[in-house]
Structure 1
């Protein structure tokens, strides 16, 4: 299997980081979202990113990482640094062999800070670059909704390995997708999934465990033939996606089900396993640029599950020009069989506004 070592490392590292985020949510009071405080999202972001980058650098020291965070705030704030260090030290897989394969515990505070700062790659078209979002779906994380720990390996600018840790999604791939999934979720019994894919080798899901990896099963997009029966997913935040345009598109496609709104790349995971069908994230403003870490892992997984993902105009997503998808506007994901029709209607709606 191609990229076998990379996939195992990504799965174990995301699993360990996901467990850290779960511990943060359950044990720390909710705070504001400034990077200088000790809110759960802040310490969860720092801790998860440090763990994952340390694992990548242990196994593949020459690889680069595009990460969302850096260690600036921790270097300037002793109490915040100590809090994140305690979390990182406490976050271990229960299986010793699995823990060893991703480098074991981080050895010191300086090593933790250095790991965080190694997420500073500018991206590009050459070489091996990992795209990392330690907590995708900040507001979902804070309110107990959907969020994801996201990691993808890009090879010469092409997303090639993708892993998503979704602690609040149901393990059952056949669980119905409805409006309740985006709010008041939890990571209780029957929840927590790792999704993964390698380019050319299909997509899988497995329960999020605490030690060695659980058994995986193949996932695939819904065999949708009647597009009017589709369920479509969209972002909770209107600042990320134009809800009005998306409702118009759904109407033109004959879709009568209400949209399912959830945060994070959990949307990609949900359509990849057939719980939903379409993902619409249409431009909410001309200046907004999508970040590569918000899409790289999900794109690999959806494509390997039998779907297609492009921008809102049908252009391929270009992950090789830096830290953003600045040459693309919007995101559309759907099963390949209906994708041309979806893109046709999306273009009609967007062109009517031009």
Structure 2
């Protein structure tokens, strides 16, 4: 008898794998090694829409009754200024249908590949990611390219896909094309896929081999030995308060800063220990596609993920985490102490 959500895990891996390979191709062809000017977001636009189209097509092929809460819709693609971008998206999507994966991953795509799709077909598939989510039913939360600025600068980004059943995350798969497979060998093989199913543990694999390797968060003998993992962009998290929290906890190691849900992947396998995302705006609401797959991965790797007040993240409300403020992830034995330090630092900031 197969494990719960075995098919969902398999299809999610096949979807994220193909999307990760396409995203890497877009990055190499349209950006290169030097990055692009911040004003030119066309490469990430091509990758975002192409990956959403591909992932959505596979999900709906195997689970036609499911819904997708996706980040993108195609409305902007039908404007004259985006004509070339739309052409690139269609080319990349159709080329992806001709590229062959291996084994089970390729078999998963057989029905999708058997259908010839035109421009409007791909646009319709993109727009099927318009679910509002909610507390009942099956919803896939999809962020086709998480970490826009990382993608544009040639740094870290992630393809993120999580399955929510009745508002609870039960499957999470993330592809990180630029993350070293072995953190101890940063110049070695790049590209990792991270996999978690509720109650079944956390795993990592390469982009080229289906073998899943178990991962766990680091066990710390002292909080002072911990290290933070936080956003590169100051606009995404309060770096000043983060530094004060480190001081309260006696942490002296420099923070590791990277874009995207790759931070969740990094701490889940022990590269870092604490992920802090403190709000920089009173009104900002975190999106469910930015945290669903990553939070499950950390929890299955031995951690706790909550908001800055220690409340569990509530994915049942809709497209955002409107019931939560901020995100804190840490190994189980230190999470409560981290929350205390966060509260102390926030109170000091108000004084």
TM-score grouping bracket, smaller chain normalisation = over 0.9
Distance in 2, matches of 1:134 and 1:33, equals 19
Cα contact 2:45–2:85 (8 A) shared by 1: no
Q: TM-score, length-normalised on structure 1?
A: 0.91
User: Residues 35-92 of structure 1, C-alpha deviation per residue, up to 9 Å, x if partnerless?
Assistant: xx77110000000000000000000001010101111122334432221111011123
Distance in 2, matches of 1:296 and 1:150, equals 8
Cα contact 2:219–2:331 (8 A) shared by 1: yes
Pick the aligned partner of 1:153 from 155, 163, 169: 163
Distance in 2, matches of 1:268 and 1:38, equals 25
Cα contact 1:206–1:215 (8 A) shared by 2: yes
- Number of aligned residue pairs: give it: 338
Instruction: Give how far 1:32 is off.
Output: 5.9
Residue 5 in structure 1 maps to residue 7 in structure 2: yes
Distance in 2, matches of 1:335 and 1:121, equals 33
- Give 1:308's aligned residue: 304
Pick the aligned partner of 1:222 from 209, 218, 222: 218
- Give 1:129's aligned residue: 139
Instruction: Give how far 1:208 is off.
Output: 1.3
Residue 71 in structure 1 maps to residue 80 in structure 2: no
Q: TM-score, length-normalised on structure 2?
A: 0.92
Distance in 2, matches of 1:199 and 1:45, equals 27
Distance in 1, matches of 2:165 and 2:226, equals 33
- Where does structure 2 lack aligned partners over 5 or more consecutive residues? none
Within-5 A mapping of 1:202-213: 202-209=201-208
Judged with a 3 Å threshold, the aligned counterparts in structure 2 of structure 1 residues 150 and 215 are, in CA distance, closer, same or farther, namely same
Residue 101 in structure 1 maps to residue 108 in structure 2: yes
Distance in 2, matches of 1:137 and 1:292, equals 15
User: Residues 323-344 of structure 1, C-alpha deviation per residue, up to 9 Å, x if partnerless?
Assistant: 1111111110000011111111
Judged with a 3 Å threshold, the aligned counterparts in structure 2 of structure 1 residues 199 and 110 are, in CA distance, closer, same or farther, namely same
Pick the aligned partner of 2:88 from 83, 87, 95: 83
Within-5 A mapping of 1:273-284: 273-284=269-280
Within-5 A mapping of 1:34-49: 39-49=42-52
Within-5 A mapping of 1:1-354: 1-29=3-31, 39-76=42-79, 77-91=82-96, 92-95=99-102, 98-102=105-109, 103-105=111-113, 107-108=116-117, 109-172=119-182, 174-175=183-184, 190-209=189-208, 214-354=210-350
Instruction: Give how far 1:31 is off.
Output: 5.4
Cα contact 2:57–2:112 (8 A) shared by 1: no
Say which SS state the counterpart of residue 111 (structure 1) adopts: helix
Distance in 1, matches of 2:123 and 2:244, equals 47
Report the aligned-residue RMSD.
Answer: 1.8
User: Residues 290-326 of structure 1, C-alpha deviation per residue, up to 9 Å, x if partnerless?
Assistant: 1110000000100000000000110111111011111
